[in-house]
Structure 1
Amino acid sequence: MSTDQDQNFEARLLVVDDEPNIRDLLATSLRFAGFEVFTASTGNEAIREATENKPDLVVLDVMLPDMDGFTVTRRLRDRGEQYPILFLTAKDDTKDKVQGLTVGGDDYVTKPFSLEEVVARIRAVLRRTHGASEDTVESALVVGDLSLDEDSHEVYRGDIAIDLSPTEFKLLRYLMLNSGRVVSKTQILDHVWDYDWSGEVGIVESYISYLRRKIDVIGEPMIHTKRGIGYVLRSAESR
């Protein structure tokens, strides 16, 4: 397979799943989305492929025939491999999610999943782990006239400083990482409330309302509701 770095691939991905239908569907869809993709069907093959090809991110099924995805992750981390890992799991189980994060995973998607969700999660993890582009301020996220600095915890809309609580800050950060993409209330709970929140999704509605009172009153609304789906943050000029 070509490893020509001059091609305009968005990122290099390793997809690991022992089910051929899922593996091929993911690989095809991710290539269509602009990624360079190579694949593996076992844990040992995943370790070999990852070590040789140095992906930007690994999409890793938890249940593999020779070893589970957590063991694969531990072995890769023990070798000094630090690329992000997105787990695919059939278990919507908090213990499983926490274990994945503990061994060095960066995110997870529960089966059955939508291909759109997988692509969105991959791009969000890549943004989070690779940082801003060279022509932006380090540690800063920028969408339109809205900026968020992760180091100083400062938020500005234009030249107006916005004071946010820690949870409001985390929520805004997640929306900005996924700007232009609709995220569901469940996804927001998983990412903003650290996977162990056992309350109702109504907490998301409350905090979206808090954010709107601080962000959207300054200019054209940026936080939009997609009824029955979730929320999306867009720059005012892209409406």
Structure 2
Amino acid sequence: MAIVDDDPRIRALLRDELEDLGHECIECNGIQELLAALELRQIKLIFLDLQMPDGDGLECLQRLAENAYQGPVLMFSGLDDPELRAQAIAAGARGWVLKSALFDQLPELLQQHLQA
């Protein structure tokens, strides 16, 4: 799994939670770091923040599609914006979660998106 967020605190908290649930994951500071990681390893699930310094999550979804990434991408954001959510889903995200609800919903999200 990959956690893509420019906030190191969010990445560390989510990594710790995922590891406690038995999952290996890497942290990426932004889009470029994620794309570089995908060249080196297979990533089965991506947690992707909406807003980052090197581009937004919608742009990243497009880049992932161009690189034929097939795994699920879950967008997370502090913004509760139905229009952005719809754009993300249309661009290929499998889900959208508010950061405030991410940790509460994490077990359910993992079960739902790692079934394949």
Q: TM-score range by the shorter chain?
A: over 0.9
Q: Report the CA distance between 1:54 and its aligned residue.
A: 1.4
Q: Which has the higher helix share?
A: 2
1: CA distance, partners of 2:24 / 2:39 = 16
Please give the secondary structure, in 1, of the residue aligned with 2:54: coil
Q: Report the CA distance between 1:19 and its aligned residue.
A: 0.5
Alignment equivalent of 1:60, drawn from 48, 52, 72 = 48
Query: Does structure 1 residue 24 correspond to structure 2 residue 12?
Result: yes
Query: Does structure 1 residue 76 correspond to structure 2 residue 64?
Result: yes
**Kindly, what percent of the aligned residue pairs are identical?**
27
User: Which deviations, in whole Å up to 9, do the C-alpha atoms of 1:208-234 show, x marking residues without a partner?
Assistant: xxxxxxxxxxxxxxxxxxxxxxxxxxx
Tell me if structure 1 keeps the 8 A contact 2:49–2:76: yes
2: CA distance, partners of 1:69 / 1:51 = 19
Alignment equivalent of 1:115, drawn from 70, 79, 103 = 103
Tell me if structure 2 keeps the 8 A contact 1:86–1:122: no
In the TM superposition, 1:23-172 aligns within 5 A as 23-127=11-115, 130=116
Tell me if structure 2 keeps the 8 A contact 1:14–1:39: yes
2: CA distance, partners of 1:50 / 1:120 = 25
Please give the secondary structure, in 2, of the residue aligned with 1:82: coil
Tell me the number of residue pairs that the alignment of Structure 1 and Structure 2 aligns. 116
2: CA distance, partners of 1:50 / 1:113 = 27
1: CA distance, partners of 2:28 / 2:102 = 21
**Unpaired runs of at least 5, structure 1:** 1-12, 131-239
2: CA distance, partners of 1:51 / 1:64 = 21
Please give the secondary structure, in 2, of the residue aligned with 1:86: strand
The TM-score with structure 2 as length reference comes to 0.93
Residue type of the alignment partner of 1:125: H
Structure 1 runs of 4+ with >3 Å offset? none
**Unpaired runs of at least 5, structure 2:** none
2: CA distance, partners of 1:34 / 1:88 = 21
The TM-score with structure 1 as length reference comes to 0.47
User: Which residue matches 1:15?
Assistant: 3
Tell me if structure 2 keeps the 8 A contact 1:87–1:100: yes
1: CA distance, partners of 2:98 / 2:42 = 25
- CA distance 1:44–1:114, change in 2 (3 Å): closer
- Bigger Rg, which one: 1
1: CA distance, partners of 2:88 / 2:39 = 20
Tell me if structure 1 keeps the 8 A contact 2:6–2:52: yes
Q: Report the CA distance between 1:92 and its aligned residue.
A: 0.8
Q: Report the CA distance between 1:58 and its aligned residue.
A: 0.3
